[in-house]
Structure 1
Amino acid sequence: MAWDIALPDGYRLHDVLAFHQRDAENVAEHVTPQRLRKAVVLAGTPVLLDVAFEGAVARCSALADGEPTDAVDSAIRGALRNVLGLRIDPQPFTDMVAGDPVMGPLAKRQPGLRIVQSATVFEALTWAVIGQQINLAFAIALRRTLIQLAGPRHSGGLWCYPDAAGVARLSVDDLTSRKFSRAKAETLLRLSALVADGALDLEPGPANTIADISEALLAVKGIGPWTVNYGLLRGYGYEDCSLHGDVAIRTALQPLLGGDERPDIAATERFLQRYAPHRTMAAAHLWASLHPRGDGNG
């Protein structure tokens, strides 16, 4: 299947490509200056997404290793919107902070900044768990390990980021023998098992709101508010995530607020509350202030 997606004016292609090329070994993603290829399990099916960027158009195709179904087609279309960063329109936040003395100048320096997402909510959540309390390089290495342990290899050559069923088949020893801490391994397997057997529904709807999903995730041992908010941001493209527990957010705020030390979590939460219901974009601009060419966060 193939189709074109029109890209908005001022689309920041560099940000999109930078987010998806974090792993230099190109295990599940392969990025060139004008092309993105990513493999992921969608609706139980290994899929290779292929996006060629031609001016203001993304020429998209998808190859599924399996029988095409409506569920796979829907998942592909959603995943493409995610990986292209098209869920959140940045303009309402830009308008909101036009006269703001703190966030206004940041927004002017990064026009058109967008939140680039993981292909699926499950990928976003598991990446958040993997990245807890370790440096980015180590987190990327652990992510690569998880992909090759739990994800099938697509016929196109890339390894697919696994779904919950794939991760749930692993054992704690599978992960701890490959440098995962026991706590991290247990959290990943606990989350995966709950999603795989349907006890934890990550699909939003009238009877399963974002608030409901957040509450259910917080009830999972090993998952805290930061992980949930990161999952909402990178997985759902939710517009009002408060990343007040994020160290990078607090680091970015310190020079802006003029303190001698990073603001604490409570002070950061109060600051971000000013920008509701657009706190996700506030976080994006704070991250970008530390890394001016991109959104700056894994």
Structure 2
Amino acid sequence: MRAKVPAEAQVPACLATRILKVTPEEADLLCSKDARYRPLVEHFGLLSRELFQDCYAGLVMTIVGQQLSDQVVGKLRQSMDPAFFTSPEALIAACEHSLQVLSTVPPKTPRAELAAQHILPFSHNKIETLLRIARLFAEGSLSIAQLQNMDAAERERTLLSIKGVGPWSVSMIELMVFGERDYFAIHDYGVQQGWAYLTGSDLKAMKPKERQAALQEHAQLVSPVGSAANLYLWALKNVHGKLPQ
């Protein structure tokens, strides 16, 4: 009996209109690339993942989700003004207001007091990153069409040039916004955990460079179905590496 896999972070209907689903051909190819995936495919079936509806909304939600648990991100989605995902100007106004208020209150002001002043519930750095992205879109310096017309490498360089956007964010944007079929998310800790379960590796015992090299090697191994590999590694992580017999 195939397991029902909980989504890593369910996307509200207003933010998701597309589905990234592993095809039978991709599943077969993945198993031929690395036979250790076969039990996962047999157990979980053909996995799928919801994608963000557009680049701007996806960028915003990806930055919001940086360094936060799925549960926290889910609550934040429900509390945020839907206009933030469609109007750069609305997000700019909220960010500027939040930064202005934060500059005048004591550093350890209780969150409840800040909420009463309609402050975005994020760190100062995260608000600044959201403001940079919203301004780029509002000014026309960055657009959905521009990013869609870039290849993954050019998109990565462009996004990493925005202060506050790091490798993890780029990985999630490639997967969850652009739906890349061959993008192994080596910077995502969930993927790293799943890979460790799959390969019997000890992440804590590995030095950062050693870990990155091993993950890069695995990315090459599972290409051109790296995105499918992500889905199965996330699923394996969710069951703590133990498939029911």
Q: TM-score with structure 1 length normalisation?
A: 0.62
Q: Deviations over 1:191-241 (max 9, x none)?
A: 111122211123258953343332211111111121111011111111122
The match for 2:216 is 269
User: Within 5 Å, which residues of 2 pair with 1:1-298?
Assistant: 19=7, 22=10, 29=12, 38-39=13-14, 80=17, 82=18, 85=19, 87-99=20-32, 100-147=34-81, 150-151=83-84, 161-174=85-98, 177-203=119-145, 208-261=150-203, 264-291=211-238
Match of 1:61 in 2: none
Tell me, yes or no, if the aligned pair for 1:121 and 1:234 is still in contact at 8 Å: no
- Aligned partners of 2:176 and 2:147: how far apart in 1? 18
> What's the Cα RMSD here?
2.9
Flag the structure with higher helix content. 2
Specify the code of the residue in structure 2 equivalent to 1:94.
Answer: A
Residue 195 of structure 1 aligns with an amino acid whose one-letter code is: F
- Structure 1 residue 89: Cα displacement: 4.8
Deviates more, 1:272-281 or 1:137-146: 137-146
Deviates more, 1:274-283 or 1:169-178: 169-178
| Superposition deviation, residue 108 in structure 1 | 2.1
Q: What's the secondary structure of 1:243's corresponding residue?
A: coil
How far apart are the structure 2 equivalents of 1:234 and 1:280? 10
Instruction: Give CA-to-partner distance per residue, 1:47-66, whole Å, 9 cap, x none.
Output: xxxxxxxxxxxxxxxxxxxx
Tell me how many residue pairs correspond in the alignment: 213
Deviation string for 1:15-50 (max 9, x for gaps)? 6xx659848xxxxx4xxxxxxxx336xxxxxxxxxx
SS in 1 for 2:35: coil
Give the SS at the match of 1:171.
helix
1:90-139: CA deviations, max 9, x gaps? 23321212343222222222222123212222222222211111222322
For the 8 Å contact 1:147–1:162, the answer to whether it is kept is: no
> How far apart are residue 174 of structure 1 and its match?
2.6
Greater relative CO, 1 or 2 (CA 8 Å, sep 6+): 2
* Alpha-carbon distance in 1 for matches of 2:198, 2:76: 34
* TM-score (normalizing by structure 2): 0.74
2:148·2:178 contact (CA, 8 Å) conserved in 1? Answer: no
The separation in 1 between residues aligned to 2:40 and 2:146, in whole angstroms, is 32
Please, which runs of 5 or more residues in structure 1 have no aligned partner?
Answer: 1-11, 24-28, 30-37, 41-78, 152-160, 293-298
Structure with higher strand content? 1
